[in-house]
Amino acid sequence: MAPTFRRVASWGGAAVAVFSFAMVALAFALAASGKTPPGWMAAVVLYGLPLAFACMGAALVATFLERRKR
């Protein structure tokens, strides 16, 4: 059975969301150690968190649509 677009979007979105949350957690850990340039943390939070939440939302919508189809 070939994977559908919704299934691929569901798993892909979830994978990117997990990676983005891990990136933000790493950024917080590095910032706590004081080894980051001044504006780096703000950039990670401004770009990393919205990316993570957007991908998580897309994965949830794709999962809902995939389950609704069955």
Consecutive 10-residue averages of pLDDT for the chain (70 residues) = 68 80 81 78 80 81 75
- Domain ranges, ordered by start, for the chain: 3-69
DSSP states of 2-70 as a string? PPPHHHHHHHHHHHHHHHHHHHHHHHHHHHHHT-S-TTHHHHHHHHHHHHHHHHHHHHHHHHHHHHHH-
Hunting for tokens 């993570």 — which residue is that?
Answer: 52
pLDDT of amino acid 19? 83
pLDDT of amino acid 70? 62
Whole-angstrom Cα Rg for the chain: 16
Buried b (16+ CB within 10 A) or exposed e, 28-53: eeeeeeeeeeeeebeebeeebeebbe
pLDDT of amino acid 67? 74
pLDDT of amino acid 7? 72
- Residue 58 identity: A
